């Protein structure tokens, strides 16, 4: 019995999406995930190669050994017709509500335990990180065209998410600054 697209491991579809956009080596796929998918999906590098082997075994991708740019041969993975069909079915279905796992928000829940200056320092550090991410996404967005629709839309989501996080940090800082020391 075939599993419904939403019931399978999401990693399978993350990998298919990355390879669909451009045939890649496992290393290139890991780097792609760090750039394009950093705000929507995290993948441990150690899980990339086992997932690629599984996808190839299932006939959803194929590999070709090609000379490396700076070293030995490497496997370049491409989506097969079967993989493209499976990916299309998955893309056509709605996603479940995303699980939000943000340790910083959990810490803010307990900011009343901290002295005002400690909380302000922490939120300033968080804001600086998200501001840096925002600048990264804005630069990436400027380099993309509508011919790169998927990466452009995902990057745009990254821009909006980082803008919202920076604005939230500013609001948190203002509220904490009004607290007695």
Three-class SS state of 142? helix
Predicted confidence band of residue 175 (pLDDT cuts 50, 70, 90): very high
Instruction: Give the pLDDT confidence score for residue 38 in this predicted structure.
Output: 63
Greater model confidence, 69 or 51 = 51
Is a pLDDT exceeding 90 seen at residue 41?
A: no
CB contact set of 107 (below 8 Å; sequence gap of 6+)? 122
Instruction: Give the pLDDT confidence score for residue 6 in this predicted structure.
Output: 46
Chain centre to alpha carbon of residue 30? 11
Mean predicted confidence (pLDDT) in 91-98: 82
Query: Which of 134, 177, 173, 174 has the alpha carbon at shortest distance from 157?
Result: 134
Helices (H), 22-148: 26-35, 45-57, 81-92, 103-109, 116-143
Rounded Cα gap, residues 164 and 136, in angstroms:
15
> Which helix or strand (DSSP H or E) is residue 174 part of?
helix 149-178
Summarised one tens digit per residue, pLDDT across range 103-160 is 888 899 889 899 999 999 999 999 999 999 999 999 999 999 888 888 889 889 999 9
104: tokens are 């910083």
Is a pLDDT exceeding 50 seen at residue 69?
A: yes
Please give the share of the chain, as a percent, with pLDDT higher than 90: 47
For the ranges 16-30, 31-45, 50-64, the maximum mean pLDDT occurs at 50-64
Q: What is the DSSP string of 44-66?
A: -HHHHHHHHHHHHHTTSEEEEEE
Please give the share of the chain, as a percent, with pLDDT higher than 70: 93
Question: What is the model's pTM?
Answer: 0.68
């Amino acid at each position: 019995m075939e599993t419904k697209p939403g019931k399978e491991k999401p990693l399978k579809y993350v990998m298919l999406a990355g390879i669909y956009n451009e045939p890649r080596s496992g290393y290139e796929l890991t780097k792609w995930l760090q750039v394009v998918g950093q705000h929507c999906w995290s993948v441990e590098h150690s899980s990339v190669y086992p997932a690629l082997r599984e996808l190839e075994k299932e006939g959803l991708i194929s590999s070709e050994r090609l000379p490396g740019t700076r070293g030995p041969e490497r496997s370049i993975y491409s989506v097969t017709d079967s993989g493209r069909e499976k990916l299309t079915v998955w893309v056509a279905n709605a996603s479940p509500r995303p699980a939000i796992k943000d340790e910083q928000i959990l810490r803010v829940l307990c900011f009343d335990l901290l002295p005002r200056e400690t909380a302000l320092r922490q939120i300033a550090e968080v804001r600086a990180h998200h501001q840096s991410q925002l600048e990264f996404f804005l630069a990436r967005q400027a380099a993309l065209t509508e011919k790169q629709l998927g990466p452009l839309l995902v990057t745009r989501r990254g821009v909006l998410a980082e803008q919202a996080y920076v604005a939230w940090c500013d609001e948190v800082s203002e509220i904490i600054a009004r607290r007695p020391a």
